[in-house]
Amino acid sequence: MSLLSAISSLTADDELAFLFSRKTSSMPMPTLANGPELRAYISLQLIGLIGCLVIFVTGFFSESALRHTAWFSFMFSWVLSTLSYLLLFISGRLENAPFGLCLIQSALMYAAPTLTAATTLAFVTQIFFKLHNSLGPRERGGRLIWLMLVGPYVLHATIATETIIIGLEDDNTLYQSGMGGYCYLKNAVPSQTSTVTVMVLMIPTVVLGAWTCVLLTRNWSSKKLVNYPVSTTIRVLVFSALSMIANTITIMYMSAKGRSHRPYVVVSLIPIAAILAFGTQKDIIS
C-alpha cells in the first residue's frame, strides 16, 4: 500500500503529524553535512536570496526605478528559487529532515528551474517587444507578455504537484542527500520533466535574444532608440546567456551516472549573476 493510500484515512491533523514525524532515507555520500560544498551551497543561496529580495523590494517601493511587471516576476522567481533550495537550512533540518518537509523541499526544488527559466523567457520577450515597438509603427506583443507572466507559475505548480504525488505514492523514492542541503527523489520523472521543460524554454529564449541583438545592432544609431533602455537590454541578454550556460552544465552533471552535489553549487551562482546584472543599475543603487 502506498503512503498516499495510508494517509487517506487519517484526519487532517493526523496527516500532518504523520508526514512531519516520518523519517526520510539518507544515502551515504562522500561529503559530510558540514563539508565545504554544503557551506558554499548555503552561502551562495543566502547571498542570492538577500540580494534578490532587496532588489525586488527596492524596485517595488522606488518612485524613480520604474520597472515592467516582467521584471518584478523575474526577480520574485529568484527569491522563490533560493528559498526553495534553502528550506532545510531555514528550518534547521540539514540532517534527518522529516518526510513532509523533505517532500515539500524536493517538490519546490524540482519546480524552481522551470519557474526561473520561464520568467527569464518572459523578461527577454518583454525586452524584445519593447525594442520592436520602439522601431515599429504600432504596439505588439502585449497579450502574449501578460500570458507569459502567468505561465511560469502554472508550470511551477504543475511540476511541484507531480513531485509530491510521486513521493506520496512511493515513499521509498524520497531521500535526503548526504550533503544535507536538499532532498531528492530516486524516481527520475520529476528531474527529467524539469530538465526537458528548461531545455524547451531555452530555445525561444536564445532565438529572441539573438533577434534582439540583431535589431539592436542594426539600429544602434537610430533616433528612435534615444529613450530606449539599451543598458537594461544588454544586461538581460548577458544574464540570459550566463543562465543558459549554468543550466547546460547542470543538465550535463545531472544526466551523468552517479549523483554529484556540484550542479546544485553551480545553480547557486545564477541568482548572484542576477544581483550583479540588475542590482547595480543607477536607479536601484541610488
Q: How many domains does the chain have?
A: 1
What does the alpha-carbon distance between residue 250 and residue 71 come to, in Å, rounded to a whole number? 25
> pTM of the full predicted structure?
0.83
Residue 266 within any structural domain of the chain: yes
183 in helix, strand or coil? strand
Q: Give pLDDT, residue 7.
A: 46
Domain residue limits at 249: 34-284
| Contact assessment for residue 24 and residue 99, using Cβ atoms and an 8 Å cutoff | yes
Domain presence at residue 157: yes
pLDDT tens for each residue of the chain, 286 residues long: 455 554 444 454 444 444 455 555 544 443 445 577 788 889 999 999 999 999 999 888 876 666 778 889 999 999 999 999 999 999 988 878 888 999 999 999 999 989 999 999 998 898 888 887 777 666 666 677 778 889 999 999 999 999 999 999 887 888 887 777 888 888 889 888 988 998 899 899 989 888 888 888 887 776 666 666 777 778 888 888 877 777 766 665 555 444 556 677 778 888 898 888 887 777 665 6
What are the distances in angstroms from CA 225 to CA 59, 123, 215, 222? Answer: 24, 19, 11, 6
pLDDT value for 28: 41
What is the per-residue pLDDT for 260?
58
Residue 237 lies in a domain: yes
> Residue 136 and residue 119: Cα distance in Å, rounded?
25
Does the residue 128 lie in any domain?
yes
Name the grid cell of 72: 518584478
SS3 174: strand
Tell how many helices (H) and how many strands (E) occur in the chain.
11, 3
pLDDT at 219: 78
Contact 124, 211 (CB under 8 A): no
Q: Assign residue 255 the CATH number of its domain.
A: 1.20.1070.10
**Contact indicator for 59, 69 with CB cutoff of 8 Å:** no
Is residue 85 included in any domain, yes or no? yes
With H, G, I as helix, E, B as strand and everything else as coil, classify residue 185.
Answer: strand
What are the b/e assignments for 89-110, b being 16+ CB within 10 Å? beeebbeebbbbbbbbbbbbbb
Q: Has residue 12 been placed in a domain? A: no
Q: What is the pLDDT of residue 76?
A: 95
Question: Does any domain span residue 15?
Answer: no
Q: Residue 183's beta-bridge partner residues?
A: 176
Specify if 28 maps to a domain.
Answer: no
